[in-house]
Amino acid sequence: MKNCKKLCVVALMLLVLGQFLAPKEANAQVIEVGVSGGLSYYMGDINPRKPFNQSRLGYGLLVRYYDNTRWAFRLAYSNLQLEGSDESANYRAERGLSFTTNVHDIALVAEFNFLDYFTGSKRSYVSPYIFGGISVLNFTPKAKDGTKLCTVLTDVDYDKNIPENGNKKYSTFAASIPFGIGVKYSAGTRIGVALEWRMDFSFTDWLDDCHAYYPLWNNGDEPYVQYSDPTGYAADSQGNNTSKYVQRGNPENNDCYGYLNFSVIYKFNLPKNKDCDVGADKKYYKYY
């Protein structure tokens, strides 16, 4: 997940650089609304190495605002299905952990087009772009049988006051930093499409319900033993775990999730400002 941080820094630098490269003309203002669909995937303690491993379908809605041909601002909702298992990732198969979770994500991002772009234009009809911003998310990790893992004790962090008795559990709300790249194409007078890859570096390590250490238990304790240690990795010969700090996950790295998606939008022109630069407007928007 260190690569996530590096990509985030690069995307932020490119967005800042784009501010100095973008044209400053006052152009027609545009609102676009659309839908997206594609593949979502998870990377974290259970799958730290394989992008798109156990990818599942995701979908979303978006509203995009253009003030000129280079910069846009987007508000988007995404419903992403995430899944992970030690068996599939082949990272620490001895744990036998697995989960699924449904992430509801609301993101506000800034987009920078490397080329002039305007939906409906016959001149500026295609452009690669980058984006970055902030999002809030809600998630509910579940076991294969549908049990909500966030409601049973499966993982503890003795160093951060998440105790073995389960009196304090983690929050299922978090924030993340979304960033990514894509390419836009104007498919008609008011229709545009885009292919985009997005990665979210979240501020939680609990998307997979795997964070730090195994909880303590006695043989036969329920309901959490079957979920915290399905293979008996941390148990002794009597079926007990009486040793603190038996490593279950890596508490130093937060979880990430990705979304490779295709979107279709419909454009609405907003009323033009009478003080707009008419020459610039004709230059960029005469073909719509």
pLDDT in tens, 228-256: 999 999 999 888 998 989 999 999 999 99
Whether residue 54 is contained in a domain is answered as yes
Q: In the structure, what pLDDT confidence band is assigned to residue 52 with cuts at 50, 70 and 90?
A: very high
Residue 78 and residue 94: Cα distance in Å, rounded?
Answer: 33
Whether residue 241 is contained in a domain is answered as no
Average pLDDT value over all residues in the chain:
86
Quote the pLDDT of residue 31.
95
Question: Is the pLDDT score of 270 beyond 80?
Answer: no
Is the torsion defined by CA of 2, 177, 98, 221 positive or negative? Answer: positive
Whether residue 242 is contained in a domain is answered as no
Quote the pLDDT of residue 288.
40
Whether residue 11 is contained in a domain is answered as yes
Contact 168, 215 (CB under 8 A): no
Is the torsion defined by CA of 11, 17, 20, 21 positive or negative? Answer: negative
Average pLDDT estimate for 205-222:
88
Whether residue 41 is contained in a domain is answered as yes
Which of 278 and 109 is assigned the larger pLDDT? 109
Quote the pLDDT of residue 185.
98
Q: Cis link prior to 223 (omega < 30° from 0)?
A: yes
Q: What is the domain extent for residue 116?
A: 2-145+169-208+256-285
Digit-coded pLDDT (tens) for 142-178: 999 999 998 888 998 888 766 555 556 789 999 999 9
CA neighbor of 44 nearest in space, from 168, 245, 225, 207: 207
- The alpha carbon of 238 is separated from its chain's Cα centroid by a whole number of angstroms, namely 42
Percent of the chain topping pLDDT 70:
80
Angstrom distances, CA of residue 46 to CA of 64, 99, 110, 215: 35, 9, 31, 18
The residues, ordered by sequence, that sit 6+ positions from 172 with a Cβ below 8 Å of its Cβ are 138, 139, 140, 150, 206
Quote the pLDDT of residue 167.
53
Quote the pLDDT of residue 3.
52
Which of 32 and 21 is assigned the larger pLDDT? 32
The residues, ordered by sequence, that sit 6+ positions from 155 with a Cβ below 8 Å of its Cβ are 162, 209, 210, 211, 212, 213, 214, 215, 228, 248, 249
Count of Cβ atoms closer than 10 Å to residue 116 Cβ = 18
Residue for token digits 């390590």? 205
Quote the pLDDT of residue 282.
46
Residue 94 and residue 232: Cα distance in Å, rounded?
Answer: 9
Contacts for 11-18: CB closer than 8 Å, 24+ residues apart: 11/130, 11/131, 11/132, 11/179, 11/180, 12/132, 12/179, 14/112, 14/130, 15/110, 15/112, 15/130, 15/131, 15/132, 18/70, 18/71, 18/112, 18/114, 18/130
Whether residue 235 is contained in a domain is answered as no
Which of 79 and 158 is assigned the larger pLDDT? 79
Which of 230 and 272 is assigned the larger pLDDT? 230
Average pLDDT estimate for 57-77:
96
CA neighbor of 132 nearest in space, from 232, 209, 42, 17: 17
**Residue 43 belongs to a domain with what CATH number?**
2.40.160.20
Domain count across the chain = 1
Q: In the structure, what pLDDT confidence band is assigned to residue 269 with cuts at 50, 70 and 90?
A: confident
Quote the pLDDT of residue 67.
84
Whether residue 71 is contained in a domain is answered as yes
Whether residue 229 is contained in a domain is answered as no
